[in-house]
Structure 1
Amino acid sequence: MNVRPEMFPAEILLKIFSYCSHDDLVRRIPFVCRWWQEVWKHRTLWRCNVYRPNFDRRRVKNILKLSPQLHAIDLSTCNLNVSVVETMVQCCQDIQQLCIPIYTFLDYVRSKDTPIFSNIKVLILTQEERSGNALKYLADNLPSGITLKYLADNLPNLEHLELLSHYCSKADLTYFLERKKHKLRTLALRCLTTDGYCVIPLLLVCTNLNTLSLRNFCDKVSDGHLEGGLQLRNISSLALLYFGSLPEFSYFPNVVELQLHYYTVAHGDSFRSFAINFPLLRKLSFDRSPSLDDSSLGNLHYFQKLTSVSIVSNRITDRGMQQLESVPGLTYLDLYNCSKLTVECLKLICNFRNLQVLKFDLWYLRKTRIDLKVSDIKNRGLHLMFYRCRDVTKFDYLREQNIRVTILDDKRKALGCSKLL
């Protein structure tokens, strides 16, 4: 029986197309046959496809011209200029999620009077990799308020905004929040304005805000700055970046997910003091917290409803992992880039009774023989997921015994609101 391309049903083709690179999706698939071209136009395919170019500007512009159905695009890793943004505005009117370097965005805003995208719901403005002189010139010649005022006036559907790399004044932020107070759901920004005001009291007007990321700068934020947080009853997900010390968390009583990133201090005494103020906490994440030690993990049992723990780029040891066994409801554990963990630790975690998902980094064990046996995994319901595994067939013997094993991509997405893309 001859199988022709037009014989596949649309549901199967959409599933297959979702695994294709964007280059193949644009340059090859629509030219196979008319049926594939019809399926290729389906909006479902483009909603789940994020275009992340990493090549030259001319090629990016050509692909954008062939992708009018694009819904999400990440330009944070692409060397681009205003002409690329102009092509995107002209050819891709349906974009709803956009990640773009902030100074490229500001260059376009300053040079063009027309709105960029009226349909955007998710906007992530990242720090741009330019020379120091170029950044200084742009910072001196672009007023801080141009970003927020432009977003408030020209993006009526904006619901999620990440602006961690840009300063804003109290007046500009107030102007923006007054116009987005019923629409905004996710916000990531610096904790203090350029004139020294904390942003939290200004956020009280946002009735639907449920995800908040705050970036500290030079330890200028104190407990007194955070007093308005008690009234932010809708905040369920909170991320703190570059906080030299933990503030009083009683101000955020309804947080379900807490992320402590980039040198935010976290030690045992802190856990004892604020665990009682997180009765609903289920997900806890640490990223580059040098003060996090083995004894600190032993205090996580104070969080009665904790189910998920993520420990990224910390120097915890096997002893700390033994402490996690005291967390009764732990079902998800992510250990990325933890250089002190050994094979014995991996075997220990595989015996955690209630654990359902374990993500383990094998990079620091690449010179060690990993003799993980089937008998070492007493928790047969565990799903093992390995970062940076050179041999994708290394654990086939576990799969043969019906133990779920997945090899993850080496690249780990940035934390914070960027996970929206």
Structure 2
Amino acid sequence: MAGEICIEVLPDEVLVEIFSHVPFKDMVFSVQRVCTRWRDVSRDIMLWKSIIYCPNYRESDNEIADILRRIPNLRILVLDRAVQAVVLNAFMQNCPNISSLELSGNQKISTKLLKNILMKYSSLDQLGLPSSVLSKLELVQIIGQFNHLKTLIFSGWSFEDEPMDLLLRPIADGCPALECVDIRGKLVMYDELAYLIEKKGPQLHNLCMRWCSQDRKCNLPLLSKCTALKSLHIDSYCEIGVEEGFKALQRLKTVTSLTFFVLHNAQVSSVMSIFSHGSMSQLQEFTMSYFLNYEDKLTETIIRHCPQLKLLCIEQCPRLTDRSVENLHLLTELQTVSLSGAAITDTSIMYLRKCQNLRSLSLKYCMKLTEESMKQMANFSNLRTLNLDYCVVGGLPLHLISTHMKQLTLLSIRNCPEVDKEAVAELRKKMPHLTVNDEVHFGLGVEDDWEIVGSLYPSAEDDDVYDEDCILFNQLRDV
């Protein structure tokens, strides 16, 4: 018909915009096979500027390598599990533009491999490596030669840290552009960490570290050197240097993002003191998990002293009740709330409806929510993501989501009883842009969700370690 425009006449920049909305696998295995032009446009460097390739555990090494050969302009590669040489060779031979590379905490790193990465990607912005490399001087010296590196991540946990001398000094003396460091994966000696922070502290914007050192000293007083710090992640609280540790946190004035992971049995009054002194008035993101002694008055203190808060995640703190939620609407900038594992009831849903700017909500493992609260979910019309894993969702009005929650892009209802499968199928048809996670896993139930239990020690594979994780989770859940 006259006047019709076919896709072949569209300029390349328009095709790039269209392809930017195509799912990753469809881009690689469908779009690229249509014709030579589509293949070339789908590999446009601008299209791949922000795309992250993170293979899932179902993909074999050969499948991963095949994909890597088809995406030569890949910029960001995350390998969450150890891979064989076929994968390592594939990205180094076919993906010359990688700027961010993260290897698994279980990946074996040889001197030859790390030298090849340095030669091939000397301008890397971000590099993630197993914590084990820090025990080998020749590997740490190579890391220090990355002159453009801004972010350095060391991953790989174990339930109990085996004695291991970890070396940070060559990194402190090298890596001149370093701004972000994550060394929470292993315990390091105090002097090594002190040397790193002495050298790099004034330029660090993001720091993730353990509460104490391998030689049983509190690491937090070292933060006085980090005068430009914006994001701080404190891992594995222990009763070492408690007073000096919390006093060090009170002196921080520039932090906008604060995370406590595994607070165990810290005193509520000590945690409250961080906020009571006004040092966290600039805070925009606060995350806290696995805090056995949590009390609602801590939430009230945060609301009172952190008016700019946009993200609040208080997860696996089973003493958190409706009282914590009652005044969340006073945080007028609040967009993301996660209350995973809380003891909240249907009353909290009514309180949350007052949060006008709420965009993301997670109520995972909130076992006290009933079908009555689920009926109210359609009233959250501005939500983009909603996580109700392990909740009773029989009352969830799936038929109203397409008309009442038009902006929703992710709905997670994994391991939820009474899910209407026909309604889910109909919802997927009406909202093709919406991702619905409704898998059911049999076996251990709640403990089988590795995102919660296994996140304590992601690299641990020993059954005894896993059992101890489950015991910890059960203790938290039974409080």
Which of the numbers 123, 133, 144 marks the counterpart of 2:166?
Answer: 144
Distance 1:41 1:363, change over 3 A: closer
Which of the numbers 328, 331, 338 marks the counterpart of 2:358?
Answer: 331
Aligned residue runs from structure 1 range 241-256, under 5 A = 241-244=261-264, 245=266, 246=268, 247=271, 248-250=273-275, 251-256=279-284
* Structure-2 separation of matches of 1:188 and 1:62: 35
Distance 1:369 1:414, change over 3 A: closer
User: What is the CA distance between 1:284 and its match in structure 2?
Assistant: 1.2
Question: For the Cα contact (< 8 Å) 2:295–2:319, is it kept in 1?
Answer: yes
User: What is the CA distance between 1:280 and its match in structure 2?
Assistant: 3.0
Distance 1:303 1:366, change over 3 A: closer
Which of the numbers 178, 187, 193 marks the counterpart of 1:173?
Answer: 193
Which stretch shows the higher mean deviation, 284-293 or 269-278? 269-278
Aligned residue runs from structure 1 range 264-413, under 5 A = 265-298=293-326, 300=328, 303=331, 306-324=334-352, 331-337=358-364, 338-348=366-376, 350-351=378-379, 356-357=382-383, 359-361=385-387, 364=390, 368=394, 370-371=396-397, 383-384=407-408, 386-388=411-413, 390=421, 391-395=423-427, 406-409=434-437
Aligned counterpart, 1:419: none
Distance 1:330 1:70, change over 3 A: closer
Which of the numbers 279, 288, 293 marks the counterpart of 1:260?
Answer: 288
Distance 1:7 1:203, change over 3 A: farther
User: What is the CA distance between 1:206 and its match in structure 2?
Assistant: 3.6
Aligned counterpart, 1:108: 110
What amino acid is aligned across from residue 339 of structure 2 in structure 1? I
- 1:44 and 2:46 are equivalent in the alignment: yes
* Structure-2 separation of matches of 1:305 and 1:135: 35
For each residue in 1:55-89, what CA deviation from the matched residue of structure 2 results, as whole angstroms up to 9, or x when unmatched?
2223333443444322111211x341466446544
For each residue in 1:359-390, what CA deviation from the matched residue of structure 2 results, as whole angstroms up to 9, or x when unmatched?
4445556773545786x99x968845532375
Which stretch shows the higher mean deviation, 251-260 or 387-396? 387-396
- 1:228 and 2:248 are equivalent in the alignment: yes
Distance 1:141 1:30, change over 3 A: farther
Distance 1:366 1:305, change over 3 A: closer
Structure 2 residue matching 1:73: 3-state secondary structure: strand
Higher relative contact order (CA 8 A, sep 6+): 1
* Structure-2 separation of matches of 1:346 and 1:93: 49
User: What is the CA distance between 1:35 and its match in structure 2?
Assistant: 2.5
Structure 1 residue matching 2:124: 3-state secondary structure: coil
Distance 1:395 1:17, change over 3 A: closer
User: What is the CA distance between 1:287 and its match in structure 2?
Assistant: 1.8
What amino acid is aligned across from residue 235 of structure 2 in structure 1? R
User: What is the CA distance between 1:219 and its match in structure 2?
Assistant: 5.1
Structure 2 residue matching 1:15: 3-state secondary structure: helix
For each residue in 1:326-369, what CA deviation from the matched residue of structure 2 results, as whole angstroms up to 9, or x when unmatched?
x56553450342333233213335557xx732744455567735
Aligned counterpart, 1:64: 68
Which blocks of at least 5 consecutive residues in structure 2 are unaligned?
Answer: 133-155, 414-418, 440-448, 456-479
* Structure-1 separation of matches of 2:164 and 2:111: 10
User: What is the CA distance between 1:39 and its match in structure 2?
Assistant: 1.9
Structure 2 residue matching 1:47: 3-state secondary structure: coil
Which stretch shows the higher mean deviation, 328-337 or 225-234? 328-337
Aligned counterpart, 1:192: 212
Distance 1:74 1:405, change over 3 A: closer
- 1:118 and 2:122 are equivalent in the alignment: yes
Which blocks of at least 5 consecutive residues in structure 1 are unaligned?
Answer: 129-133, 417-421
Distance 1:95 1:243, change over 3 A: same
Which stretch shows the higher mean deviation, 230-239 or 218-227? 218-227
Question: For the Cα contact (< 8 Å) 1:70–1:92, is it kept in 2?
Answer: yes
Question: For the Cα contact (< 8 Å) 1:121–1:157, is it kept in 2?
Answer: no
Question: For the Cα contact (< 8 Å) 2:329–2:356, is it kept in 1?
Answer: no
TM-score between both structures, scaled by the size of structure 1:
0.74
Distance 1:34 1:323, change over 3 A: closer
Question: For the Cα contact (< 8 Å) 2:52–2:75, is it kept in 1?
Answer: yes
Distance 1:410 1:182, change over 3 A: farther
What amino acid is aligned across from residue 166 of structure 2 in structure 1? S
User: What is the CA distance between 1:215 and its match in structure 2?
Assistant: 0.8
Question: For the Cα contact (< 8 Å) 2:31–2:39, is it kept in 1?
Answer: yes
Aligned counterpart, 2:474: none
Question: For the Cα contact (< 8 Å) 1:119–1:156, is it kept in 2?
Answer: no
